[in-house]
């Protein structure tokens, strides 16, 4: 049975939020604080997810 590696889901969600944050920074109607918050949220998830991926890479 295939198991999802620990840290993969936060990394994928972080990529999605980062892309949304980048797209919102280009939109002039959205407040910069909101778009930068979403961007930072996504980047934080990517960092934490990658740490989990490297920390648990040999555990099956």
Walk along the chain (60 residues) and give the pLDDT tens digit of each residue.
577 788 899 999 999 999 999 999 998 899 999 999 999 999 999 999 999 999 877 765
- Give the per-residue pLDDT at 41: 96
Using a cut of 0.75, tell me whether the model's pTM lies above it: yes
Type and span of the H or E element at 13: helix 8-25
Q: What is the DSSP letter of 51?
A: H
């Amino acid at each position: 049975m295939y198991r999802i590696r620990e840290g993969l889901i936060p990394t994928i969600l972080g990529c999605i939020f980062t892309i949304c944050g980048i797209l919102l920074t280009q939109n002039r109607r959205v407040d910069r604080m909101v778009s930068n918050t979403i961007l930072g949220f996504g980047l934080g998830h990517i960092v934490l997810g990658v740490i989990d991926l490297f920390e648990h890479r040999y555990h099956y």
